[in-house]
Structure formats: C-alpha cells, structure tokens
Amino acid sequence: MSYVDEIIEQVIAKNPDEPEFHQAVREVLDSIRVIVDANEEQFRRDALLERLVNPERQIKFRVPWVDDKGNAHVNTGYRVQFNSAIGPYKGGLRLHPSVNIGIIKFLGFEQIFKNSLTGLPIGGGKGGSDFDPKGKSDREVMAFCQSFMTELCKYIGADTDVPAGDIGTGAREIGYMFGQYKRIRGLFEGTLTGKGLSYGGSLARTEATGYGLLYLTDELLRCHDISMEGKTVAISGAGNVAIYAAEKAQQLGAKVVTCSDSTGWIYDAEGIDIAALKEIKEVKRARLTEYKNYRPNAEYHEGKGVWSVKADVALPCATQNELDIEDAKQLVANGVIAVCEGANMPTTEEATKYLQENGIYFVPGKAANAGGVATSALEMSQNSEHMSWTFEEVDAKLKKIMENIYHNIDNAAKKYGFDGNYVVGANIAGFEKVLDAMNAQGIV
C-alpha cells in the first residue's frame, strides 16, 4: 500500500468519530501524492506524514461559568497547536455547540496549509469551545470568555500562539479575552488578532476574509477573461465573511441575491441591502426574518436553499459541508461559472468532485478565505512594531496577497500536471513551504 494510503488508514483508525478531520486529511494527502511518491523513502524514514497529521500539542480544558440566574455551567475548551514549522501557531477560536476535538483538528489541519499560502510566517492552530454565544447576555459571554482565557492564557503568547475569531467569536469576545489575558499575564501584546482599533486591532481586519475572497475570485475570473461586473452571486451565511464578501462583490459591480443563517435564507432579486444586513447581524444580533422589515419585496424561506438560485458565482460562507452533491448539481444545471469557498471546507468531497468534473472553477477555502488570517498576520506585524497602518495600506497588501495566492495555486497545479485543479494546487503550494521548513528543522 502506498505511504499516503497507509497514513489515511492510520488517521481514520487512530481518530475514530472525527469525520471532518478524516475528510481534511484525505483531501490534502490525496493532493500531495505526487510529491510523496517521488520522495517515499526519505518521507517514510523521517515519518514525515505521521508528523504532519499528528498535532504538536492538543489542549483540552474545563470552562466553568455562571449565568445571569446564578446557575453554573461547564463547557469544554480546546486549543490544538498543530504545526509550528513556519511560525507561531495561528488560527481562530470557534464558539459553537457543534465544536468537538474532531472539528478543531480539521480546522487546525487546514490552517497549516492556508497560513503557508499567505506567504507570511504563521504556523497552524485552532481552538474553541462548545459554548453557544447565541441568546446569551453580554455579561454571560464575558463570564465565559474570562473563564476560557484564564486557562488558555497559559499556552499562548505573541510569539507562541496567536488565536483570533471564527464562528461565534467576534470583536466582543476577542475584547473580553484580551482583557483577561492582559490581566493575568500582565502583558499588553499582540497575542490575539481581530482586536478593536483602540487597543491594537488592524484596520481592514473585519473586512479582510470577505474582501480577500472577492479579490481572489476577481483575479481568477479576470485570468479567464471574465468580469465580475454584472454577475449574479449567491452567498450563504450572514456572518463576518458573508457580509464583507457581499459588500466587496457589490463594489465590483456584481449583484448578490442571497444570504442565509441557521434558520433560513433570503432571496433579494434587487440585490442584498448590505446596510440592513449589517444592522440585523452586527448591531441587533438578530435573525434574518428581520430582513423583510427593511426590504418588503425580498423573500424569506425557512431551511436551506441558497444554492437553488440561478447564479454565476457561488460563495459558500457559512460552515463545513453545507454544499452537498444535490446543491452542486443544481448550481451546475443553473450555469454557475465559479465556486469559491469563504468558509472552511463548506463543500463536501462528492460535491467538489462533481463541480470540478463539470468544468466549474473551484477554489478551496484554504486559498480563497486566507485573507482573514493573512490580515491577522499583518495585525501581528503592526503590534510588534507598535504602529498602525492605514486602511488603504492594509487593504492594498491584502489584495496583493490574494492575487499571489491565486497565481501560486494555479502555477503549482500546472507544474504537477493538474492544470485548473485548484484543490491540488492549493494543497501542493501550501505543503511545499511547510515541508521545506520541517526538513530543515530535523525530527521534531
């Protein structure tokens, strides 16, 4: 059996009940087969793949907190420090009831290659908790965040591990966590990114993932002589990624007609009203059912459905495995040109394969959504030089980074004979730098 297949089997056997982690490993290892096969003897001798798929460290802890009625609760906190070959661990904290060790490992594993693709010196990590901030008061969220950081602060630091936001962790949560870190460790340092502007945050970090997704999508289309101008775009999600993806898509002259949250989705034929979306989600923290109050002509539907809409470009920006084979078939039947992932692994393996076989330009999240973490690395740079750059400076750097990512993954795919396969291109391009660093640093 090939080394790659052996390791895939081993990962499944040693990490049962972690299907998302298996999926992420399978996709990466399948893509880098050409490199592994060509170096099999050395890789086996150095246990290269075993070291790649086993996190350097996994931290799991109890998070007790007290609600507004005086009742105590216990959640589970995680931080997976996956790979530090090219820099300090970097990756977000997900707060969502679905969080478990398998989810955090899949996200941490993806982060290794995503962070490498940014070209910046950041390793891969991820963390979070099964705590659900939805429906909690600000005081309850603060109580949770302080308790979470009381434990986490022992393991992180500006040059060690730098967490950030992800699903459920936004500016409010980062603020509470930063305050607690500073209080316990006595350090005002850039150990978290996505901070508020008044205490070390970077301009354009809020917009970065969504804007970056569009910079890459625009570059991809332009390289195929297609313009974003006048295109219809379907977006899922209504969080930080979706909102700023929609905003940039509209700035580029496209029309975004959908968005969604955990209970339903919106179809707005006239184009999503971004100001209304921001007010509902960022200010009121409310449901999308509210959208009709702003736009009476828009349709609200319960459940899933954004991929049933006719669109030229589809941007899944909600969560893992949200776009399945049936959705892919519908998108293809409706003439979609490109699918670029704003979320982490939102397309199932089957759906990805179907889209690629039908000639759709498909860019995986580790390339397409890397603008968020790239701008986090720019926030780290600003923090370490005790400076802040202008919005225009950060935004220009982000745009350049995303264009470079597109060309790097395109070139890697071509170099290894997989022209147009951006999944293979992203995995190979991300892996090459990590491999080089791992080889240089010996068996650690």
Residues marked active site are found at 126
Q: Return the number of the residue (111 or 232) whose C-beta is nearest ligand GLU.
A: 111
Question: Per CB under 6 A, which of residues 370..399 are in contact with ligand GLU?
Answer: 372-373, 376
Task: Classify burial at 390, counting beta carbons within 10 Å of its beta carbon; exposed 0-12, middle 13-18, buried 19 or more.
Answer: exposed
Taking CB under 6 A as the rule, does residue 434 contact ligand GLU? no
Minimum CB separation from ligand GLU for residue 392, in Å?
21
| 164, 233, 309, 412: residue in contact with ligand GLU (rule CB under 6 A) | 164
Specify the residue for token string 């970097």.
90
How far is the CA of 221 from the CAs of 190, 358, 376, in angstroms? 36, 17, 26
Taking CB under 6 A as the rule, does residue 83 contact ligand GLU? no
Task: Say if residues 329 and 353 touch (Cβ distance below 8 Å).
Answer: no
Joined together, the tokens standing for residue 372 give 């968020």
Region near ligand GLU per CB under 6 A, out of 62-70, 88-96, 242-250, 416-424:
88-96
Task: Classify burial at 234, counting beta carbons within 10 Å of its beta carbon; exposed 0-12, middle 13-18, buried 19 or more.
Answer: buried
- How many residues bind ligand GLU (CB under 6 A)? The answer is 11
Task: Say if residues 325 and 348 touch (Cβ distance below 8 Å).
Answer: yes
Minimum CB separation from ligand GLU for residue 90, in Å?
5
Specify the residue for token string 């434990």.
151
Taking CB under 6 A as the rule, does residue 180 contact ligand GLU? no
How far is the CA of 278 from the CAs of 109, 285, 317, in angstroms? 31, 9, 15
d(CA 293, CA 280): 10
Binding mask 308-347 for ligand GLU (x = CB under 6 A): ------------------------------------x---
| 87, 88, 91, 346: residue in contact with ligand GLU (rule CB under 6 A) | 91
Joined together, the tokens standing for residue 292 give 């009709």
d(CA 99, CA 92): 13
Task: Say if residues 92 and 74 touch (Cβ distance below 8 Å).
Answer: no
Q: Return the number of the residue (168 or 305) whose C-beta is nearest ligand GLU.
A: 168
d(CA 82, CA 62): 20
Minimum CB separation from ligand GLU for residue 372, in Å?
4
Minimum CB separation from ligand GLU for residue 193, in Å?
5
Provide the edge-to-edge strand list for the sheet that holds 255-256: 255-256, 232-236, 313-316, 338-340, 361-363
Region near ligand GLU per CB under 6 A, out of 146-154, 162-170, 355-363, 432-440:
162-170
Sign, CA torsion 28/32/37/41: negative
Q: Return the number of the residue (305 or 372) whose C-beta is nearest ligand GLU.
A: 372
CB count within 10 Å of CB 419 equals: 11
Q: Return the number of the residue (8 or 370) whose C-beta is nearest ligand GLU.
A: 370
| 146, 193, 206, 347: residue in contact with ligand GLU (rule CB under 6 A) | 193
Minimum CB separation from ligand GLU for residue 318, in Å?
13
Region near ligand GLU per CB under 6 A, out of 164-172, 259-267, 329-337, 435-443:
164-172
Nearest-CB residue to ligand GLU?
92
Minimum CB separation from ligand GLU for residue 91, in Å?
5
d(CA 230, CA 257): 12
| 90, 195, 248, 281: residue in contact with ligand GLU (rule CB under 6 A) | 90
d(CA 439, CA 436): 5
Q: Return the number of the residue (55 or 305) whose C-beta is nearest ligand GLU.
A: 55
Minimum CB separation from ligand GLU for residue 223, in Å?
24
Task: Say if residues 136 and 101 touch (Cβ distance below 8 Å).
Answer: no
Binding site for ligand GLU (CB under 6 A): 90-92, 164-166, 193, 344, 372-373, 376
